[in-house]
Amino acid sequence: MKTVTFAVPQLAAAHHIAFAVGPFSKMNLSDLREYEEEDMNNIRAATDIFGYCLPGRESELRNSSLFMAKVSLVF
């Protein structure tokens, strides 16, 4: 048995807190980015984006979140 404790640094309503337990696979969605020459200067400033899915569903995660990698370059 494992007990996990956490603390929220700011006040948060109960409906803003969620838990998910499972054998998730972690995928770095930043690897899906397509860089153009003018974007090469911002590569170091880009934030990594991670997605989580159940094992064997990586293609679905890639398909449904492909736009996230493109949006992160805009900001």
Beta bridge partners of 50: 28
Identify the pLDDT of residue 45. Answer: 55
pLDDT, residue 30, reads 79
- pLDDT, residue 49, reads 82
Q: Where are the alpha helices (DSSP H) in the chain?
A: 58-64, 66-74
pLDDT digits (tens, 9 = 90+) for 14-60: 898 888 888 999 998 878 777 665 555 555 556 778 899 999 999 99
- 4-21 burial, b at 16+ Cβ within 10 Å, e below that, comes to eeeeeeeeeeeeeeeeee
Question: Residue 5: which pLDDT band, with cuts at 50, 70 and 90?
Answer: confident
pLDDT range class, residue 8, cuts 50, 70, 90: confident
